[in-house]
């Protein structure tokens, strides 16, 4: 399980790193970037889903592999 951001969809609302700063961080444009924790899968699934649902652009993917 890990998190991904579809960069073609992200427009920098910043909800992901605002709600879960351990899973996402802002880049210099204010777009979201997955942190090491977010990429590693060592996080709570429900919390990740909360962020997936908070993205106004549907840009976050929780990959189950």
Partner 1 sequence: MDEPALGGDAQAWFDELYRPEVRRAPQSYYREVRDTHPVIRTPSIARGEHGGAGGDDDGSDKTMIWVAKRSDIDSGLRCPEVYSSRLSEPVLMLPTGVDPPDHVKYRRILDPLFAPRNMNKLEEPITQYANELIDAFIERGECDYITEFAIPLPCNVFLRLVGLPLDELGDWLRLKDALMRGSGETAMLAFAEVDERFEALVIERRRDPRDDVLSQLLSLELEGEALSHDELLAIFRLLLVAGLDTVTASLACFYSFLSRNPEHRRRLVNEPTIIPAAVEELMRYESPVPYLPRVVTKAAELGGCPINAGEDVVFMLGSGNTDELFYDRPDLVDFDRPSVRHLSFGGGIHRCLGSHLARIELRVSLREWHRRIPDYHIPDDVELDFLPLVPLAPRQLDHLPLVFDQVAG
Binder of partner 1 out of 2, 5, 17, 43 (CB under 8 A): 17
Contact (CB, 8 A) for 57 and 10: yes
Would you mind telling me the total number of residues written for the chain in this entry? Answer: 65
Binder of partner 1 out of 33, 37, 57, 61 (CB under 8 A): 57
Between 8 and 65, CB nearer to partner 1: 8
> For residue 12, is it left (φ>0), alpha (ψ between -120 and 50) or beta?
left
Q: In terms of Cα–Cα distance, which of 37, 24, 44 is closest to 59?
A: 24
Binder of partner 1 out of 4, 7, 11, 45 (CB under 8 A): 11
- Binding-site ranges for partner 1 (CB under 8 A): 9, 11-15, 17-19, 26-31, 50-51, 53-57
């Amino acid at each position: 399980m890990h998190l991904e951001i579809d960069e073609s969809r992200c427009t920098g609302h910043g909800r992901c790193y605002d709600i879960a700063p351990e899973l996402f961080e802002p880049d210099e444009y204010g777009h979201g970037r997955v942190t090491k924790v977010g990429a590693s899968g060592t996080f709570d699934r429900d919390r990740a889903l909360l962020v997936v649902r908070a993205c106004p652009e549907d840009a976050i993917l929780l990959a189950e592999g």
